[in-house]
């Protein structure tokens, strides 16, 4: 279940993904499979070759890309989430969701 984002943020992410851009959307998230995670960043791109290359460039296994048309994406959680968001110029999302204070960081 996703919460903590606006409809406008979701719409902007969907539009960027559809254009073939690498797009980031962080939101609060609860999943019993990941009890220590309280957020997820969806890194989406409709261009699967581009998303696969992005995963490899960031040391992530592209086998975990969610092939969900029309918005394929990779779910970032845990330690890599804040690191990659900062490197990609999204420190605002790190601050907003207090990812530097997440368990295990």
Note the pLDDT tens digit of each residue in 9-41: 999 999 999 999 999 999 998 889 989 889 999
- The answer for residues whose C-beta is within 8 angstroms of residue 64's C-beta and 6 or more apart is 55, 74, 75
Element at 12 (helix H, strand E): helix 7-18
Query: Degrees (nearest 5) of the Cα angle 20, 23, 25?
Result: 145
Q: pTM of this prediction?
A: 0.90
- Give residue 96's domain range: 2-101
Closest CA to 34 of 87, 86, 62, 75: 75
What residues contact 77, with CB distance under 8 A and at least 6 apart? 34, 37, 39, 40, 41
The closest alpha carbon to 4, from 101, 92, 98, 97, belongs to 97
Confidence class for position 2, pLDDT limits 50, 70, 90: low
pLDDT on residue 104: 47
Number of domains present in the structure of the chain? 1
pLDDT tier at 101 (50, 70, 90 boundaries)?
confident
């Amino acid at each position: 279940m996703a919460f903590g984002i606006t409809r406008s943020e979701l719409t902007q992410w969907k539009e960027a993904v559809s254009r073939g851009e690498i797009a980031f959307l962080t939101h609060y998230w609860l999943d019993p499979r990941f009890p220590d995670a309280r957020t997820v960043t969806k890194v989406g791109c409709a261009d699967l070759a581009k998303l696969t290359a992005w995963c490899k460039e960031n040391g992530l296994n592209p086998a975990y890309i969610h092939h969900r048309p029309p918005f394929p994406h990779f779910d970032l959680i845990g330690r890599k989430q804040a690191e990659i968001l900062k490197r990609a110029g999204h420190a605002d999302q790190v601050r907003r969701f207090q990812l530097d204070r997440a368990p295990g960081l």
